[in-house]
Amino acid sequence: MKRDFIVYTGIVVALLNTFDAFATNFGLLNHYIEESNPIMSALWTFSPMLFLSMKLLLSICILIISILVSRYSRTFFKQMYSYSLIGLTILYSGIFFMHIYWFSFV
């Protein structure tokens, strides 16, 4: 896998995760949606700011790990990490479109 692919895909996942954080926060604050992830639901119930902070920290970690993997990992690990990023991109794309769907009703 090309090194740039890992970094660019990591950026896409981080951006989708960041969008999810703010869209979910907006939806929860306005009682449009419920959080399906029990861990994130507990975080949001405890503190919406903690919820946003953790989601943003996760995005930053994804970016840093993607850069490190692209530069320093062996080919096999790069391949496995790339597959994981592709899976996350598919997952977060679905979440993105779900948010767009319910935004259309707001």
3-class secondary structure, 47? coil
pLDDT in tens, the chain (106 residues): 576 999 999 999 999 999 999 999 999 999 999 999 999 999 999 999 999 999 999 999 999 999 999 999 999 999 999 999 999 999 999 999 999 999 998 8
Query: Residue 21: what pLDDT?
Result: 97
Query: Residue 2: what pLDDT?
Result: 72
Dihedral pair phi/psi, residue 34, rounded to 5°:
-125, 145
Query: Residue 1: what pLDDT?
Result: 56
Q: Would the CA dihedral through 41, 47, 50, 51 be positive or negative?
A: positive
